[in-house]
Homo-oligomer: A and B are copies of this chain.
Amino acid sequence: MRKIITIGREFGSGGRELGARLAHALNVAYYDEEIVKAIAQRSELAESYVNQVLEKRIRAYYPITIANTLNMNQGDAVYAVTRSIYAAQAEILREMAEKSDCVIVGRCADYILADYRPIRIFVYADMEARMERCRLRQKAENGEVLSDRALERRIREVDRARAQYYRFYTGQIWADRSNYDLCVNTTSIPVEKLAELIAAFASVEPPEGLLKD
């Protein structure tokens, strides 16, 4: 049986790092940018645009040219393009899950791949720890330094967008524990260590029925 692991995460909690480390520890594929590339190819949209639709607010971005081309009003065009990108993503996730064991971060993969009975993980952390992680990342990437207030606002905005996207696509509440097998707080345990422990968790076969013991 395929071993699929999906990771939902709060922004700045280290979910992406956990996913990559977990894939490494389990020696399975880690899909991330490949998914965006494949959607872009299939839909003939630019990668940057696909990313916008997938990662930012779902209704805030759309190419005006598409509305004109299709002779739709803007609202309908946004909806149509958004849906087609989601559909392409779902198709691609299923193909990847079919191809090999893998770890997938975000993308409603827990919902899309439900038939594969993935191990569904949610990663979160205290706001202070998330801010600290973001600061380190910002410094490493581009040296940009936001004020604490602006950083906290940004973190909340990204999470709101994720919640909105998840709700739109799955009809479920984002971060609701009932949609996950394991929720881990990275505030007080290194992500590296967590990856080892979850790798052990992932190697446990689920019981046949609902309860074994």
A contacts, CB < 8 Å to B: 17, 117, 122, 124, 126, 128-129, 132-133, 136, 175, 177-178, 180-193, 197, 200-201, 204, 206-207, 210-213
How many identical chains are in the complex? 2
- The CA of A19 and the CA of B212, in the complex, are separated in Å by 17
In the bound complex, do residue B207 and residue A201 qualify as a contact, i.e. CB atoms below 8 Å apart?
no
Closest CB in chain B relative to A19 CB, distance in Å? 14
What are 30 inter-chain pairs, A to B, with CB distance below 8 A? A124-B178, A126-B178, A128-B210, A129-B211, A132-B211, A133-B211, A136-B211, A175-B177, A177-B183, A177-B185, A178-B185, A180-B183, A181-B185, A181-B187, A181-B188, A181-B189, A182-B184, A182-B185, A183-B184, A186-B211, A187-B210, A189-B204, A190-B204, A190-B207, A190-B212, A190-B213, A192-B213, A197-B200, A197-B201, A200-B200
Q: Given the interface contacts A183-B183, A193-B204, A200-B197, does A129 sit within 8 Å of B210 by beta carbon?
A: yes
Known contacts A181-B187, A181-B188, A197-B201; 9 additional CB pairs below 8 A are: A117-B188, A124-B178, A136-B211, A175-B177, A178-B185, A180-B185, A182-B184, A188-B207, A189-B206
Neighbouring B residues of A117 by C-beta, 8 Å: 188
In the bound complex, do residue B124 and residue A177 qualify as a contact, i.e. CB atoms below 8 Å apart?
yes
Most buried by B among A117, A178, A189: A189
Neighbouring B residues of A206 by C-beta, 8 Å: 188-189
CB nearest neighbor in B for A196: B200
